[in-house]
Amino acid sequence: MLLVEDGLGICVVHLSPLSLSLSLSLSLSGAGGGGNDVQWCFSQVKGAIDDDVAEADIISTVEFNHSGELLATGDKGGRVVIFQQEPENKSQPQCRGEYNVYSTFQSHEPEFDYLKSLEIEEKINKIRWLPQKNAAQFLLSTNDKTIKLWKISERDKRPEGYNLKEEDGRYRDPTTVTTLRVPVFRPMDLMVEASPRRVFANAHTYHINSISVNSDYETYLSADDLRVNLWHLEITDRSFNIVDIKPANMEELTEVITAAEFHPNQCNTFVYSSSKGTIRLCDMRESALCDKHSKLFEEPEDPSNRSFFSEIISSISDVKFSHNGRYMMTRDYLSVKIWDLNMESRPVETYQVHEYLRSKLCSLYENDCIFDKFECCWNGNDNVVMTGSYNNFFRMFDRGQKKDVTLEASRESSKPRAVLKPRKVSAGGKRKKDEISVDSLDFNKKILHTAWHPQENIIAVATTNNLYIFQDKLN
Amino acid sequence: MFPKGTKRKFSDGEEVPDENPADIKVMSSYNLQRQSLLDMSLIKLQLCHMLVEPNLCRSVLIANTVRQIQEEMTQDGSWTIMAEALNSNQSPSDCLVATEILCRPSPKDQDEEKPFSVISYEGCDSVSCHSEEVVDDSLCEPSSEAPTYLPISIGTWEKEDQKENSEEESEEDSKPEEQVFGTFEIKNPTATPDPALDELFSDVDTSYYDLDTMLTGMQSSPKMGPYDLLDSLSSHSQSISSNSGCRPDLNELDHIMEIIVGS
């Protein structure tokens, strides 16, 4: 038994040789989650109501900023939409502010690679916010090939009373000026402007799948299928290659990089995951090229579950460090795993997301669903994790209470403050009332992207083209 | 679905003939499933070329699945079928019947349905020819102890070319198997060389195929290799050049799909 103190509180850690699981007791201060049973309520839904989804409207990434006040989404059409939370109403302390559109801009345009005769999609693969340093907000958005740094700033005043210009901007004839006055700033309707401040291009041969801002707030990494590059936020004409897994002979290629992330507080540490289900932790202080990992996290395969699809379902689609930096979470096709950074041999916790799909892998391979890349996220105090599934279901796993719940993002349960009813999928023959059988799941309705507010129990869940915002029920 | 990770044992000669039909049935179901998975994977790989830019991760995962199936087929499939043929007292014609159960419906007219014949097993001996004699380095793991193996395509239609291919070989792991295949061939001289088939594939060169170009959809120099099955699907007719693994003719693909689906 250990007593461990970190920035969030004191925990009692039990190490059991049999289960090799860590259980944290004593819930941590502040941020939501944990403790009593949380009831999730519908708050808002954004996006078109039609069933006919325009391709460009498909949401491809969702991300809260560091304070949680702003929520950004990227879509397949290359647009970024930022929502801002309304300040809490003093008279109604029970209701958290709603998220309304703050800014919309076209981040990336479709391009054509003339050398390869191939189109470069404008789809936004990832958005990452920079921590706020001044009045403006900054975010990085990336498509398959190019990363852009956007500045989002507000303008709510404008100067009035120029001597040489009319109000509409036309220049006045200087001879008509008889008096001088000092221009003053007058309030105007809030205008939110987004401008591209940096464009980081031409550094990736393969498709970028991840970007991650370093805790030094000066550098960031971008990862494609075979390489990871390190950039300085101020420098766009060069980047350092820190991981390269491209084999000399491309025919020997059997593994690709699927995700990468910097450690939340150690600026020299990052991890990258692979299509073979391994995660490598690298220390940039060791060498310039981090091909040799410091740690390799891999769980031995379960021989009883072996099939032709074993490798495909072990491919990791997302990796996220916990906020406290002690754990990391990985998502593969059927499960979510929590790893202790000090133990490489196996995860400390494994949660089955949709085990009932294991017997359907052949059909899922046929319709390509087996290649769907689900993301996962932590709540603010790292004791609940969330990920998406099919049929517009999403799952939450409470690590402390060892409970899990399946909820659905649908228009049917979209009445204001309506409590979401837990859902259940029946795998076997007997289907209870209110359960859904595996065969009636809609595999076109997938929730790949979810995000959790850094402090509150507010979650953003993206279905194909709609963004749902849910909150916990406040008493 | 697929049996769970249990290796099928090499059946020795003492097996009662009665058990054979049942064994064949179970195995054929597995083989058919495995075969259909293989075909599906190959189609997926080929379709990759038609996309904006193929998703490398998906391509690599599918390619690894194909590799895995081929490994298993070489180790298990050929052994099992061969063992039966060796141990059974069936006449060659009966053996062919057994083959029909195991394999997809074989084409009556090889000339017309070449692409199909390329995918399927053409008979017991074709499976045997699935021999590791042509080493395809791109499919082999660096470890030399792994048996070398081949895409089925080369196995089936290059049985006449075995000798040529073995010249190109660098490593041979297949001595014991060679002997077995040797005797097996004597037993089943059904491999009548098809001149049309020979001529068709005479220009096929089993050197490497540039995976990079295949996966990134680039036009490449005329080389074929591990993914030549894909090429042969698209290139058996002159309307498609064997170089353009990237943009197979849609009509061609329809034709192939029809054959596979069996319509």
pLDDT at B72: 87
Cα–Cα separations (whole angstroms), residue A51 to A44, A109, A408, A411, B93: 18, 26, 17, 11, 58
B32 touches chain A (CB under 8 A): no
The confidence band for B24, taking pLDDT boundaries of 50, 70 and 90, is confident
Average pLDDT on B11-39 reads 70
Tens digit of pLDDT for each residue in B141-198?
Answer: 333 333 333 333 322 222 333 333 333 333 333 333 333 333 333 333 444 445 555 5
Contacts of B146 in chain A (CB under 8 A): none
Per-residue buried b or exposed e for B133-156, using 16+ beta carbons within 10 Å of the residue's own CB: bbbbbbbbeeeeeeebbbbbbbbb
Whether B30 contacts chain A with CB within 8 A: no
- Is B237 in CB contact (< 8 Å) with chain A? no
Average pLDDT of chain A? 89
Structure tokens at B223: 């080389």
Of A182-186, A272-276, A318-322, B4-8, which range is least confident?
Answer: B4-8
Q: Which residue among A118, A250, A366 places its CB closest to the CB of B211?
A: A250
* Distance between CA atoms of residues A450 and B221, nearest Å: 45
> Within an 8 Å CB–CB cutoff, is residue A119 touching chain B?
yes
Which of A171-185, A293-307, A329-343, B43-57 shows the lowest per-residue confidence on average (mean pLDDT)? B43-57
- Per-residue pLDDT, averaged over B215-226, amounts to 39
Written as six digits, the tokens of A270 are: 């990052």
Do residues A145 and A122 make contact, with C-beta atoms less than 8 angstroms apart? no
pLDDT surpassing 80 at residue B260: no
**Cβ <8 Å between A256 and B2:** no
Measured CA to CA, the distance from residue A108 to residue A125 in angstroms comes to 11
Confidence of residue A114 (pLDDT cuts 50, 70, 90): confident
| Helix (H) / strand (E) containing A313 | helix A310-314
Task: Flag whether residue A306 sits within 8 Å of chain B, measured between CB atoms.
Answer: yes
The average confidence (pLDDT) of chain B is 52
**Nearest of A339, A338, A332, A371 to residue A355 by alpha carbon:** A332
**pLDDT bracket for residue B89 (50, 70, 90):** very low
**Model's pTM, two decimal places?**
0.69
pLDDT value of residue A275: 97
A381, A296, A279, A393: which is closest to A337 by C-alpha?
A279
What is the Cα Rg of chain B in Å? Answer: 18
Query: Which chain A residues contact residue B69 at CB under 8 A?
Result: 308
pLDDT at B250: 65
Share of chain A above pLDDT 70, in %: 91
Tell me which residues of chain A, numbers 375 to 404, contact chain B at a CB-CB cutoff of 8 Å. Answer: none
**Sorting pLDDT into bands at 50, 70 and 90, what band is A266?**
very high
Alpha helices in A202-264 (DSSP H): none
* Three-state SS at A262: strand
A248: contact with B, CB 8 A cutoff = no
Cβ atoms A471, A32 nearer than 8 A = no
The band of B75, judged by pLDDT with boundaries at 50, 70 and 90, is confident
Contact list, B29 vs chain A (CB under 8 Å): none
- Residues in A closer than 8 angstroms to B48, CB to CB, are none
Contact B5 A304 (CB under 8 A): yes
The SS3 of residue A155 is: strand
CA A265 to the chain's CA centroid: 18
Is B137 in the A-facing interface, judged by CB distances under 8 Å? Answer: yes
Confidence of residue A15 (pLDDT cuts 50, 70, 90): very low
Nearest chain B alpha carbon to A259: B57
Q: CA angle, A151 as apex, A322 and A204 as ends, to 5°?
A: 65
- Per-residue pLDDT tens for B110-142? 333 333 333 333 333 333 333 333 333 333 333
**Are B209 and B222 a contacting pair, CB within 8 Å?**
no
| Cα angle: A470, vertex A374, A426; to 5 degrees | 75
Mean pLDDT of A259-272: 97
Residue of B41, B64, B143, B206 for testing the chain A interface, max A β-carbons within 10 Å:
B64
A89: pLDDT strictly greater than 80: no
Q: With cut-offs at 50, 70 and 90, classify the pLDDT of residue A187.
A: very high
**Higher-scoring residue by pLDDT: A433, A81:** A81
Mutate to test the interface with A, among B1, B66, B214 (most CBs of A within 10 A): B1
Question: With a CB-CB cutoff of 8 Å, which residues 204-233 of chain B face chain A?
Answer: 208-212, 215-218, 225-226
Task: Say which residue, A228 or B125, is predicted with more confidence.
Answer: A228
Strands (E), A252-371: 257-262, 269-274, 279-283, 295-297, 318-321, 327-331, 335-340, 349-352
Residues of chain B contacting residue A120, judged by C-beta atoms under 8 Å apart: 53
How far A366 CA lies from chain B's nearest CA (Å)? 7
Output the CA torsion sign for A302, A304, A305, A310: positive
Instruction: Count other C-beta atoms under 10 Å from residue B200's C-beta.
Output: 19
Condensed to tens digits (0 to 9), the pLDDT of residues A373-431 reads 999 999 999 999 999 999 999 999 999 999 999 999 998 888 888 899 999 998 776 67
Name which of A72-86, A316-330, A403-417 the model is least confident about.
A403-417
Provide the percentage of residues in chain B whose pLDDT is more than 90. 6
Q: Which of A53-57, B100-104, B253-257 has the highest mean pLDDT?
A: A53-57
In whole angstroms, give the CA distance from residue A174 to residue A346. Answer: 78
Q: How confident is the model at residue A96 (pLDDT cuts 50, 70, 90)?
A: confident
3-class secondary-structure state, position A177? coil
How high is the pLDDT of residue B195?
54
Pair A117, A105: CB distance under 8 Å: no
| DSSP letters spanning chain B | ----SPPPPPP-TT--TTHHHHHHHHHHHHHHHHHHHHHHHHHHHHHHTTSSS--HHHHHHHHHHHHHHHHHIIIIIHHHHHHHHHHS---HHHHHHHHHHHSSPPPS-TTTTHHHHHHS--SHHHHHHS-TTS--TTTS-S-TTSPP---HHHHHHTGGGHHHHHHH-S----HHHHHHHHHHHHH-TT----HHHHHHHTT---S---HHHHHHT----S---TTHHHHHHHHSSTTS-TT-TTS--HHHHHHHHHHHHT-
| pLDDT (0 to 100) of residue B158 | 29
pLDDT for residue B216? 44
Reference A77, options A124, A141, A111, A45; nearest CA is A124
Would you say residue B95 has pLDDT above 60? no
Instruction: State the average pLDDT over residues A239-248.
Output: 96
**Confidence band, pLDDT 50/70/90 cuts, at residue B97:** very low
